[in-house]
Chain A
Amino acid sequence: MLTIRELSKTYPKGARALNNVFLEIPTGMFGLLGPNGAGKSSLMRTLATLQEPDTGTAFLDDIDIINDKDTLRKVLGYLPQEFGVYPKMTPVDMLNHFAVLKGIVDKGEREDLIDALLHQTNLYDVKDKAIDTFSGGMKQRFGIAQALIGNPRLIIVDEPTAGLDPSERNRFHNLLAEIGENVVVILSTHIVDDVSDLCSNMAIMGNGEILLTGRPRDVMEQIRGSVWRKRIKRSALGEYEQQYQVILSHLTEGETEIHVLSDAKPEGFDEAEADLEDVYFATLRNHGINVSL
């Protein structure tokens, strides 16, 4: 169980990244959903011991993340939003180095582990190729491989699927799905499908605050019946926005379909099958966070 209390952070230039964040994250996959600039990465980096909060505490069971970084790092697996590796190094070299840094001193154990990780992430065939020649998906899989070294109890995965094509993303999801249930895995993303596909628990973040927490199924349940859809002309979007609470619009077969939030069925609208995306945008809307449609 990861327990976060009163976590706040304001950057020197005045940007408020975290605002009194409370979160309790059980073991299993936890999705942290939010738009860019919501504070997800700040929270992730704080939990990954890379950043100091102004106030607040964070504990992984009994490990004080803020003040006892060294202990946390021993049980931490972290895949940053963007990362690279030393030039010209192969996955084997690099994983070996990371394994040493993670305290796996036995050479045989290290070799077995690297073998298993490379198979697991399907990188075994390219184990002797330089990582900086990898495609985006391969690189992300390498990233997860290094995060898995050394039986971590907390795995933080920051925006892992950004920029991946659908099949790569799917592969990556499969990989994440195999991580054991008794590990806390935090997946931060702005892609709703990541959460709906993988996570048993989730939170929505915006403006540095936690706007919503719960199980995906539960939160969807809450707005069931109050989301309505309609196909409109693109030029009419402005009018609808003034009249209704438009939570999202997307193109279907060349036409614009909008979803609006309303307790009663508005004129000319059909009921929409509320999904996590609606929850997400509705939540942001409710907190006055403007996500351009």
Chain B
Amino acid sequence: MDTLERLLSEHPFFKDLDPRYIQLIAGCAREVTFKAGEFIFREGDPSSHFWLIRSGKISLEVFAPGRGPIMIETLGEGDVMGWSWAVPPYRKQYDARALELTRAIEFDAMCIRGKCDEEPKLGYELFKRFAQIIGQRLQATRLRLIDIYGSHS
């Protein structure tokens, strides 16, 4: 088995995925490294990729006029970054910046979408996993929305 395939099959996100599909996906993947401070993508960029972070830390930021950039989430080892590739209009909504040297596996979204069209079952498996990611992010965001640490007096 290819190193990349081994990496993917060991990753919790692809647990229990048919090795044949792992092979298919690996065909759309490559290893990448981001230097500290480097932008992975900017707000408005087309959603052409998603990433499996292997090490390091990436910050998702929005820029508020008058307030400057605000970090709304950091993602690190084991996290999946990027779900907007699966949802139209396929555009990035935040900036993503590496806070430290970060290694990740980068997936070409168009390639993946193509493979999913060919093999709908693969599409179903991927979308199940991404639905979970989106759910977790929503949950975590809602918790911060209620401002649990606020003084409420």
Query: A and B: real partners?
Result: no
Partner-B contacts on A (CB < 8 A): none
Partner-A contacts on B (CB < 8 A): none
